[in-house]
A = this chain, B = another copy of it.
Amino acid sequence: MLTYEQYQQRLVDAVPRLPAEEVAVTDPVALLGRVIATPVRSAVPLPGFTNSAMDGYAVRAADIAAASERSPVTLPVAGDIPAGDTRSLRLEPGTAWRIMTGAPVPDGADTVVQVELTDAGTEQVAIRAALPEGAAVRHAGEDVVAGDEVLPAGTLLHPRHVPVLASAGVQRISAIRRPRIAIVSTGDELVPIGGEAGHGQVVDSNGPMLAALVHEGGFELAATRRVGDTGDEVRAVLTELAADADLIVTTGGVSAGAFEPLKLAFEDSDDDFDFVKVSMQPGKPQGFGMLGDTPVFALPGNPVSSLVSFLIFVAPAARTMAGRSPALPTGTARVGERWQSPPGRTQFARVVYDDEGRVVRPVGEQGSHVLGGLAGSQALAIVPGDTTEVAVGETVAVIPLAGLA
């Protein structure tokens, strides 16, 4: 059997990298979580004009060289320069302009005296300190020269990147597409969420859960579908979806029963599609193949296996397609209560946190169909295959289930 690391690597290597596209910067929310494909260069110098770093008075340093607390220098005030003043003003030697933070420093001025060092006069102002030339002046282009790289290729866009993007005056940037993921739940027994399950039927819980995981992971949802248990129907729906989606996730139909629709559709076909067993619990039976350029991840059908398989296999591959690092964030915690793990298989155990996240303990039964235990868990602890008993005080790797984006 493959280890989960081997299988994960195989998938990450197999998926295509998505192309970049030009996107407008005017809706930065739409850019969040996307990766910049080519460096962003500023179209303008920053600051765009020489401006004041303080509320105060624009002067020539030479005119206040004699100023002190005991003998202030008094200058006539030519007027106010508020922020947003678009006039091109001049300072006459021996005078001052009252100026606000961010307002353009008038030609001829080289220094700004902050208001706290003055009497705050409006007709004339008494200045109580000498200052070096350039004090409280931000010079045009001192942060960025036009043409400077302001964001490198590979940047994963977060809110902190928006100010420089906005200020750089670029209209469009080149960013890698977020994978559009289609979700297909298989099984004749499924009824849609919100519908009523009769005898022998169950509500499709994988479809909406995976849609939520797609959203939380920073990907886009292309479609959600339910299909019955025939290979022909599965093949038809997947072929149709592959025309639009960047990646398809199916659930169910990959184990050892007589009606396993993914296997019926692909196992003996000419397609490049493999069904494997991975030494993990839950999530042992897995399938993967390409439909044209579209990777198809065939996950096992029970919800706990589906969630674990999405996090361990689909998310790293989809992140890779998007130009991100494959690895989900993980942490470590100490074991607060013993539990057992199957020999020879990596266990992804559902755990809850104690002691502000420093300690974990198992939650509910670890059976893969127990929905309450899944809902009640806060993280997955990763127990290596050679461990059969997880002892109190040991350190385990954990994948937090809250906040995966």
Contacts and interface: CB of A to CB of B under 8 A. Distances in A.
A46 B371 contact: yes
Interface in A25-61: 25-26, 28-29, 32, 44, 46-49, 53, 55
Given A25-B194, A55-B258, A82-B259, A401 B160 contact: yes
Most chain B CB within 10 A, of A47, A160, A198, A258, is at A160
Interface of A: 24-26, 28-29, 32, 44, 46-49, 53, 55, 80, 82-88, 98, 100-104, 115-116, 138, 143-144, 150-151, 155-156, 158-164, 166-167, 169, 171, 187-190, 192-194, 196-206, 208-213, 215-216, 221, 228-229, 255-259, 301, 303, 307, 329, 369-372, 374-375, 377, 401-403, 405
Contacts of A201: 48, 84, 86
Contact of A259 (B28, B100, B193, B257): B100
A84 B163 contact: no
A213 B159 contact: yes
A211 to B, nearest CB: 6
B199 A104 contact: yes
A338 B229 CA distance: 63
Contacts of A212: 28-29, 32, 158-159, 162
Nearest to A304: B163
Given A48-B199, A86-B199, A88-B199, 16 more contacts: A29-B215, A32-B216, A49-B199, A82-B188, A83-B188, A83-B189, A98-B258, A100-B259, A102-B189, A103-B189, A150-B372, A159-B213, A163-B374, A164-B374, A167-B202, A403-B403
Nearest to A402: B158
Smallest CB-CB A-B distances: 5 pairs: A84-B188, A84-B189, A159-B212, A55-B257, A163-B205
